[in-house]
Structure 1
């Protein structure tokens, strides 16, 4: 039995006013299919192009191993030359991903390939981040620490994006003092006997093709799977909702520091405790057996 997922609405193009009024104000996701068609990136941004202009850069890599108390916040699991990494992506499936990487700081000419969209959001100009993944590699379901509004552009291939609105959090086995769900849940094929709360979750899904953009509103959970090797770029805007702005400040200044402190002093016991509490609290709140 699969998750309850509804296709995310799609438009070919959209005006700034319609995007703001129909999606940003309503905090509703949408896929815009042709937003990038007049960008140089639309024709240039393929894996081979990235290899040509950034092949000598050493890049941080992440895999799908469970969180360990030994890992720092967003600490990479390995490094590799970009050229070698892209060769690996094209050769065979790999779990190694590049996550939240400011490649444009290393290769400024990439900035000439895209245009900051005039779409009704005040985008943070310093943070065009890139993400790469191999066939079938996955990004753990999570929501972003800063509650940003995100414009997520995909290039080279296909990527499946599953979203959950913040009001679906009670069904997602959120790990306390963290931004993730239980990492042993397979969101492609969930075991509803083991994770019965997921039967109640109502999600959204989009399969992004080359050049398409997905708008993800503030605090939305997102799970990403690279159906084929490819890469994406995210542009961000600060949260508009004052409550979310306060949540973001709390996450950055208090939650992250507290979690790092507890990892240091309690080690793996802290990670295990949080994972246990994700189940206990979810089932208790929904009246399910603990």
Structure 2
């Protein structure tokens, strides 16, 4: 299929995606309104005043975590450049994982070390699995979202880290309710309709390992993984000229705000230093939106 046909597909069939702004809601709508206006249309939105009742908004900071949980062991990822689970030097590289006392992690935020970026980002429902004590200050589900989606979240994840930590561009098969508790998160978004312009490549798998005091990339000889092969912060349009057809949608999610990030939206994330967030992954419905995404993917493969 020609480029012009892909452009026509994006602009005519899903014109509402192509905006440079994510809208805001000042208060929670009804479940029916939210479903009709955002979930059914696969459209992101930032909701203010969505979790004002959380004690975490006034309590969670470095000093509180140190005093309350300083000796608690936590799982922390470590990279030399802030990119975990990302394409680096021709490989898809997993971070080094370390278990350390919370005090040690917090010290790494207060006094960052060159070539050592620490991030609590284990995406295994670590809020409920590793930090059950923090649920009293937050929640193990978003009740109205659980009602809307007809299920409890598959995972509830706690995030805290260095401003150098960056989540590379990817997509998830989840309806994502992303709550910023402290600081802010900067998102670059692409709708599923931008799939024709977003380049993937097969990268050999590897991981960071500590060797002679340095973090080094070590291949694991276990095949390859397809991953997005472009940095939206500085896209190489010479190598990937089609990316110029994509429309970046940027937003900042501040403390006390919740981003509804629909399933299969591409996203790249940065954060303020010491930012704390909790996100809720609700399993996506394999409905007409998923079928459309697979249809576009098949067209891309045919065009290639």
The answer as to whether partners of 1:122 and 1:237 remain within 8 angstroms in 2 is: no
Q: In structure 2, the residue corresponding to 1:194 is in which secondary structure?
A: coil
Q: Which runs of 4+ in 1 moved over 6 A?
A: 243-247, 281-284
Q: Is 1:135 matched with 2:157?
A: no
Alignment of 1:50-89 (within 5 A): 50-55=65-70, 56-63=72-79, 64=83, 67=87, 76-89=96-109
Q: Following the alignment from structure 1 to structure 2, what is the Cα–Cα distance between the partners of residues 191 and 104?
A: 40
Worse overlay, 74-83 or 192-201 = 74-83
Q: Following the alignment from structure 1 to structure 2, what is the Cα–Cα distance between the partners of residues 54 and 74?
A: 27
Q: Following the alignment from structure 1 to structure 2, what is the Cα–Cα distance between the partners of residues 220 and 179?
A: 17
Change (3 A) 1:194 1:72: closer
Q: In structure 2, the residue corresponding to 1:128 is in which secondary structure?
A: strand
Q: Following the alignment from structure 1 to structure 2, what is the Cα–Cα distance between the partners of residues 137 and 106?
A: 21
Q: Following the alignment from structure 1 to structure 2, what is the Cα–Cα distance between the partners of residues 170 and 47?
A: 42
Q: Following the alignment from structure 1 to structure 2, what is the Cα–Cα distance between the partners of residues 130 and 140?
A: 18
Question: What is the CA-CA distance between 1:128 and the residue it aligns to?
Answer: 1.1
Provide the residue aligned with 1:11 in structure 2: 25
Q: Following the alignment from structure 1 to structure 2, what is the Cα–Cα distance between the partners of residues 244 and 178?
A: 25
Q: In structure 1, the residue corresponding to 2:194 is in which secondary structure?
A: helix
Q: In structure 2, the residue corresponding to 1:112 is in which secondary structure?
A: helix
Question: What is the CA-CA distance between 1:26 and the residue it aligns to?
Answer: 0.8
Q: Is 1:39 matched with 2:86?
A: no
Q: Following the alignment from structure 2 to structure 1, what is the Cα–Cα distance between the partners of residues 291 and 242?
A: 28
Q: Could you tell me the TM-score, scaled by structure 2's length?
A: 0.69
Please, what is the CA RMSD of the aligned residues? 3.3
Alignment of 1:35-184 (within 5 A): 35-55=50-70, 56-63=72-79, 64=83, 67=87, 76-92=96-112, 95-99=117-121, 100-101=123-124, 102-115=126-139, 116-119=142-145, 120-125=148-153, 127-144=155-172, 147-176=173-202, 178=225, 180-182=227-229
Worse overlay, 197-206 or 117-126 = 117-126
Q: In structure 2, the residue corresponding to 1:202 is in which secondary structure?
A: coil
Q: Could you tell me the TM-score, scaled by structure 1's length?
A: 0.72
Q: Is 1:205 matched with 2:250?
A: yes
Q: In structure 2, the residue corresponding to 1:96 is in which secondary structure?
A: strand
Task: Considering fraction of residues, name the structure with more helix.
Answer: 1
Unaligned runs of 5+ in 2: 1-17, 203-223, 293-298
Provide the residue aligned with 1:231 in structure 2: 276
Change (3 A) 1:79 1:192: farther
Encode CA deviations 1:226-266: one digit per residue, 9 max, x unaligned.
Answer: 1332122111211123477799xxxxxxxxxxxxxxxxxxx
Unaligned runs of 5+ in 1: 248-280
Q: Following the alignment from structure 1 to structure 2, what is the Cα–Cα distance between the partners of residues 149 and 59?
A: 25
Task: Considering fraction of residues, name the structure with more strand.
Answer: 2
Q: Following the alignment from structure 1 to structure 2, what is the Cα–Cα distance between the partners of residues 82 and 14?
A: 34
